[in-house]
Amino acid sequence: MICGSKELLNKIGMERTAGEMKKGQVLEGIVEKVVFPNKGIVITEDGKEFVVKNCIPGQTVSFSVRKMRKGKCEGRLLNTLKKSSIELQEWSCPHFGECGGCAYQNLSYESQLKLKENQIRELLAPVLSESGVDFERVFEGIKESPRQFAYRNKMEFSFGDTEKDGPLALGMHKRGSFYDIVNVEECKIVDEDYHRILICVRAFSEAKKISFYHKLSHEGYLRHLLVRKAVKTGDILIDLVTSTQTEGFDETAVLAELKEQILGVSYDGKIVGILHTRNDSLADVIRDDGTDILYGQDYFYEELLGLEFKITPFSFFQTNSLGAEVLYETAREYIGGSLGTVFDLYSGTGTIAQILSPAAGKVIGVEIVEEAVEAARENAKRNGLANCTFIAGDVLKVVDAIEEKPDFIILDPPRDGIHPKALSKIGLRFRPERMLYISCKPTSLARDLQMLQEYGYVVERLCCVDMFPGTGHVETVCLLSKLNVEHHIEVELTMDELDLTAAESKATYEEIKNYVLEHTGLKVSNLYIAQIKQKCGIIERANYNLPKSENSRQPKCPPEKEVAIREALEYFRMI
């Protein structure tokens, strides 16, 4: 019988070791909790702890063993043997469980919010406590999305098949699969117009027997279908993304016929543009190698909080328009009254900068994507905002060239957060009295907050906005302020009192290897990492993969792997 107490399970299983388990072995256990992002912590009958994705707290599940390394065990979910007490008996989406798009459609919305709130609490409470801040004192809960269903304004559907050599599918990736595609014509996070477009394009492609692009052989024509719809106006943009492999059919004639098929369907909204984008990238991403307008125009306007923003197929724009209004209203409330000069770093198409501009004397936005910067400038002009300036470039480099000093900084970085060197320039050079950090990945926020706290900032207010119901994602809004020096003491340390080996504790060898593999595709050994750490002046203790003598013959780390390891060491703030 499986017990619910982790302590009791650990006691029972003390005599067994992970070495007795084999990869592929099927085990059962109880999901103790789910940590961000969607990682279930499953306790087996003998007390072992496994990380298994796509679980709900309280479920009893079966899973197969995937990895067992240095006490870290991972499993792949097979079946739910017993439902959780918080789990719905039935859910509205027929694709849930097979489609990889959503994680929590089997929970009530109230339970989803509570789960996400607890995940944020577990992640950030220990971090805030390091600066003496009580999480419960500053945390203001989680704000709901105005819509639980049909909230998305953009979808990227993929062409493929549901199984090898099966019929054509157009939809989302199957849960846990890189290759298989699930038809999602009843998807609940988009409205009926998306379903109509999806069914029309798939039926046409099937009838014409047009091949889809195979990821392994890199052969085929149909790749993706991108659909955007403005919530306020109902305007719709459709972009068919294909390769340039047109052997065996007349592409011009086929695209013209597809256009007429799409326009012949009745919609709640209005189609303002049908486009064709060519993409010959080997990666499974939507890339613009050239776009033609088949019908109408290649943009529409969406309204947020009284301002209009131009949206093109590849514009970055929050995928939940109504939720974005909640997010930006929260940001506006946190910032408060009139400001002087505001820096909006990672400004995208300038939505936050422009929404906050009435409260600022001047707003300077920095964004690395040039197309987004051009859109930001055009949007600001359209909205009659003369105090917004947008600069194209990497935040890490651009901040060195900006001579003005900000009174307030807004940070809205991509999912991976902020580069440590950029954070140090923000915290040490600019030193604004207050900052607002908007995060779409709380694990990145937790890491960056630790560094900002080292620069003397503390969290003043904190809340979440649920922009993605049904999924494991959540936005976090965090107001930081500089510590009041009058209420703190200075501590002087000599070099003898500092532990210069502290860098060793910032990341394990396994974490460094995983980072390098994920970001560069390179595999590095403990020996190579040790060599580069030694080069960087990080002291290695005995038996840390270093040679016994200087004359020992051993392979030297190749230059490309040295660069990758150094990047990882910088990421973990070890150098």
List per-residue pLDDT tens for the chain, 575 residues long. 444 444 444 443 433 444 567 888 999 999 999 999 889 999 999 889 999 999 999 999 999 999 887 778 999 999 999 999 999 999 999 999 999 999 999 999 999 999 999 999 999 999 999 999 999 999 999 999 999 999 999 999 999 998 888 899 999 999 988 889 999 999 999 999 999 999 999 999 999 999 999 988 899 999 999 999 999 999 999 999 999 999 989 999 999 999 999 999 999 999 999 999 999 988 888 888 899 999 999 999 999 999 999 998 888 889 999 999 999 999 999 998 778 899 999 998 899 999 999 989 999 999 988 888 999 999 999 999 999 999 999 998 888 888 888 999 999 998 889 988 889 888 888 889 999 999 999 999 999 999 999 999 999 999 999 999 999 999 999 999 987 644 444 444 443 433 433 444 467 887 888 888 877 778 888 888 888 888 877 754 434 344 444 444 568 888 888 888 888 888 877 87
**Number of CB atoms found within 10 A of residue 331's CB:** 19
Question: Can you tell me the distance from the alpha carbon of 241 to that of 313, in angstroms, rounded to the nearest whole number?
Answer: 11
75 with 52: CB under 8 angstroms?
yes
Pairing of strands 408-411, 434-439: parallel
CB atoms within 10 A of CB 101: 21
**φ, ψ (nearest 5 deg) of residue 558:** -65, 150
Token pair 């776009």: residue? 291
Name which of 56, 146, 87, 36 is nearest 447 in CA terms.
36
Please, what is the end-to-end C-alpha distance for the chain in angstroms? 50
Residue 495 tokens, joined: 């070099």
At 27, give phi and psi (nearest 5°). Answer: -125, 170
pLDDT at 526: 82
99 is catalytic: no
Contact indicator for 26, 78 with CB cutoff of 8 Å: yes
Question: What pLDDT, on a 0 to 100 scale, did the predictor assign at position 483?
Answer: 74
- For residue 484, the model assigns a pLDDT of 60
Which one of the listed residues 440, 463, 464, 557 is annotated catalytic?
Answer: 440
Q: How far is 313 from 228, CA to CA, in rounded Å?
A: 7
Cβ-based neighbours of 266, under 8 Å, separated by 6 or more: 196
**HEC profile of 168-210:** EEEEEEECCCCCCEEECCCCCCCCHHHHHHHHHHHHHHHHHCC
